[in-house]
Chains A and B, each alone.
Chain A
């Protein structure tokens, strides 16, 4: 009984440590996470969705997915943050998004009107960059590389949903809207890469640059040809992300962060100890019998 209590206390301590460590990571992330990179990614994500809406006029199912996604990309917090820098853009961006949704949702939606609104929003989003992202960060290569990584994260999410994480090659597209999202964002990521490459100093290995060039091209081809989900993830996560860590010092995100590993180890410990104790209990009567 005492051993069990001691083991329990030990596990409580381990779980607590894991949780606290976890919370500290969140605290560090709040300050270390690059909001500028996230905004630069958003500037690509929002237009991809509005252009998809323009292409999907008359298809309520696809439009509905895009409406949800654009509200995920631009939320009340984005408006609030923009309002701190520019009241006009803080009003115009959400208003234009809403106008696009309203117009596209009409049974007799006018593609010309939607296009005008989409073009207008493109302009607002583009000019919001200099307002929302400070000039030094806008020129910072790590920030720009991180923005591409953020976009690639969305590509992987979209393509995973589109193929239901299929391992077949070619994969079957089970959901068209996230497929459009992944396709649009992969193309946007390639454009962002071209801009980043132009700013990259010449002392960076030309082999690495060529590898990245090929990876972005491969990514777009893989999505266009409905490659398996693992192929897309491999290009985005391994080839591009790993080279970005080396060249642009972007943060390497471990697949199993330390807090999660600790928490899992603790749970595994609880299970193992419970099993051992159970085994011991089942043996006790046998020994007594002897």
Chain B
């Protein structure tokens, strides 16, 4: 069966269209998705998203809230915007109060630290007022993904790459079991290292506090000693002056 030229051109057109569609989709996919959601209430606009994107489980992140008035192209940051606002983080049926603190880099931006522990949708519930404007809304943060997409080597694989024929003389089953054990041990070591780092940090902080206290005590001691010196010198001078006066009186 031979295709007619008309059919050929239709097929070619379809293929071209599909290629264009695929190319468009690919381009769209690689563009960073703007996961920050904006909502406007009167003259106030609130914008919410993750501070670091994409948000992954087990990775420290923060909800980033930006509040401004005016247009998005020429925004005026709202200072102290969260003072009259109650913010709650919700995951499923579990909720937690969020504490937004001013960003150390951008006016009118506030960060609430979150360590997402599970994949899925996290919602922030806003209730209160900003610049006398009532705010009562919920905004979903971009879905949290599993950190497995960036983990390497994968923690859940339970095997160690052994190469072809593995060259160890071990059966694949034994190698697999050993791999699992090694992975477990690696995890334990990482965990222990983190604990040790935290302990070291605590120790350093405690040491700093002790040093500060010592420095303060030393300063106080110096002041006390100076005081003693001045007091003693004053009394010694007074005694000498009295003695001289007495001897002069006797001489007379």
**Which residues 237-290 in A have Cβ within 8 Å of B in the complex?**
266, 270, 274, 277, 281
Taking CB atoms, residues of chain A closer than 8 Å to B80 are: 122-124, 126-127
Determine the distance from Cα of A131 to Cα of B238 in the docked complex, in whole angstroms. Answer: 55
A-binding residues in B (CB < 8 A): 79-80, 82-83, 99, 101-107, 213, 216-217, 220-221, 223-224, 227-228, 231-232, 235-236, 238-239, 242-243, 246, 249
A224 interface residue (CB < 8 Å to B):
no
Q: Is the interface of B mostly helix, strand, loop or mixed?
A: helix
Q: Given A15-B228, A26-B220 in contact, is the A281-B79 Cβ separation under 8 Å?
A: no
Closest chain-A Cβ to B101's Cβ sits at a distance in Å of 6
**Contact: A15 with B235, CB < 8 Å?**
yes
**Contact: A127 with B235, CB < 8 Å?**
no
Other-chain contact of B101, A15, A131, A274 (Cβ < 8 Å): A131
Other-chain contact of B239, A8, A16, A122 (Cβ < 8 Å): A8
A20 interface residue (CB < 8 Å to B):
yes
Taking CB atoms, residues of chain A closer than 8 Å to B82 are: 127
**Contact: B223 with A23, CB < 8 Å?**
yes
Taking CB atoms, residues of chain B closer than 8 Å to A89 are: 102, 104
Give 7 new A-B contacts, CB below 8 A, not counting A87-B104, A270-B235, A281-B249: A8-B236, A8-B239, A12-B232, A16-B232, A22-B224, A86-B102, A120-B79
**Count of residues in A whose CB is under 8 Å from the partner chain:** 37
Taking CB atoms, residues of chain B closer than 8 Å to A30 are: 216
With CB as the reference atom, state the residue of chain A lying closest to B102.
A127
**Contact: B235 with A8, CB < 8 Å?**
yes
A5 interface residue (CB < 8 Å to B):
yes
Q: Is the interface of A mostly helix, strand, loop or mixed?
A: helix
Taking CB atoms, residues of chain A closer than 8 Å to B221 are: 23
**Contact: B102 with A281, CB < 8 Å?**
no
Taking CB atoms, residues of chain B closer than 8 Å to A124 are: 79-80
Determine the distance from Cα of A86 to Cα of B102 in the docked complex, in whole angstroms. Answer: 8
Q: Given A8-B235, A16-B231, A88-B102 in contact, is the A277-B220 Cβ separation under 8 Å?
A: no
Determine the distance from Cα of A87 to Cα of B104 in the docked complex, in whole angstroms. Answer: 5
Taking CB atoms, residues of chain B closer than 8 Å to A8 are: 235-236, 238-239
**Contact: A123 with B101, CB < 8 Å?**
no
Determine the distance from Cα of A124 to Cα of B106 in the docked complex, in whole angstroms. Answer: 12
Closest chain-A Cβ to B100's Cβ sits at a distance in Å of 8
